[in-house]
Amino acid sequence: MKYVSEFRDPVLARNLARQIAAEADPARQYAFMEFCGGHTHAIFRYGVHDLMPKNLRFVHGPGCPVCVLPVRRLDDAIEVAEKHGAILCAYGDMMRVPGTGRRSLLSARAAGADIRMVYSPLDALALARENPQAQVVFLGIGFETTAPATAMAILQAQAEGLANFSVLCNHVLTPPAIRHVLEAPGIDPEQAVRLDGFLGPSHVSTVIGAHAYAPLVARYGKPVVIAGFEPLDVMQAVLMLIRQVNDGRAQVENQYTRVVTDTGNQKAQGVMAQVFTLRPAFEWRGLGSVPDSAFAIAPEYAAFDAEQRFPISDKASRETKSCECPAILRGVKEPKDCKLFGRACTPETPMGACMVSSEGACAAWYTYRRAEAMGTPAPALEPAQ
């Protein structure tokens, strides 16, 4: 614990806050998007936002994998279990996400579908071995962090000849999402979110490496600083971003050097390249259709592709009415701007994915800033001197 506690030291945090305040130009506004939901929760949990100067704003990005999964894909998963009688396996944070008509995997299970919570694709493989008479489908979601485990599960199923195992693949990619946020296609320029830089995600970057962001930085001139999850990690990354903006620089910098390398995990990259292929486009909640932003299972492994194995109907899907989760994921709105927040929409009665996931912005606001969002601001910390 000593190693972790050093990254939460309040004295060091105050010192960093004073340094940030001293170097932030009072004549300008800073807007930095934390792409990763883990950063959003760290910022709120440790009060990092209260230690920032008034002219610096954190913008919550689409870095919650549960949140960005569109309703249609969740509806498809429910259909696979209900209509085709498959054993559907999903991570726990997917179970309560509302789909069309606020139906969730949990409510579908209560109605009789065989839907099971698992901790990894290996659990789904075990179920396939134990139930050779049943079709077992793993609902693969997540960024580059979880995609390698799904790919390995497919390779293991092939090696064992598990013909009753398949994957409903929804793995999405980080750099194309950042590109889409910056380009904001179809968005009125007056409505587009203004950004000065990005806090690069932690876990994703351990897989894809720091160099993966270089083309984005070169093309759009926005700095990316990869940050760890602890409060001092985030604050140091903010200081690094401020210095780049002040100097007129745009580079990829790595604050999280104790974990992230320039090239990332090349074995993980290799297994993803072997098992997956890029989809020409994929629908993201909040972002719409994003080109080259998600994996599909490669033709060589089509036998393990649930989209190929099960006919899925072309049905209409819809978001929960009045839920602002899509706008929150684009960074255009904050949870407090949603009229459902804290009233109709709570962690016990979620109306949107952003309130369900442990990485969702609404869940972070509800846990750490609910009083402020509901109109009764909590006492602010004393500003750093």
pLDDT tens digit sequence for 51-70: 999 999 999 999 888 999 99
205: left (phi over 0), alpha (psi -120 to 50) or beta: alpha
DSSP state of 322: T
pLDDT band at 3 (very low <50, low <70, confident <90, very high): low
Pairing state between β 56-63 and 87-91: unpaired
Q: Is residue 377 part of a domain?
A: no
Helices 147-160 and 121-130, packing angle to 10 deg: 20
Q: Is residue 328 part of a domain?
A: yes
> What percent of the chain shows pLDDT beyond 70?
95
The pair of three-digit structure tokens given for residue 54, joined into one six-digit string: 């008034």
> Which structural domain, as residue segments, surrounds residue 136?
1-369
Q: How many domains does the chain have?
A: 1
Q: What is the mean pLDDT of the chain?
A: 92
Residue 2 is predicted with a pLDDT of 60
Q: Is residue 309 part of a domain?
A: yes
R_g of the chain computed on alpha carbons? 21
Q: Is residue 382 part of a domain?
A: no
Q: Is residue 380 part of a domain?
A: no
The number of beta carbons lying within 10 Å of the beta carbon of residue 248 is 7
pLDDT tens digit sequence for 19-48: 999 999 999 999 999 989 899 999 999 999
The answer to pTM > 0.95 is no
Q: Is residue 129 part of a domain?
A: yes
> At 345, which CATH number?
3.40.50.11740
pLDDT tens digit sequence for 193-214: 889 999 999 999 999 999 999 9
Q: Is residue 375 part of a domain?
A: no
d(CA 35, CA 33): 6
Q: Is residue 381 part of a domain?
A: no
pLDDT tens digit sequence for 208-235: 999 999 999 999 999 999 999 999 999 9
pLDDT tens digit sequence for 354-379: 998 878 999 999 999 887 777 655 44
Residue 316 is predicted with a pLDDT of 77
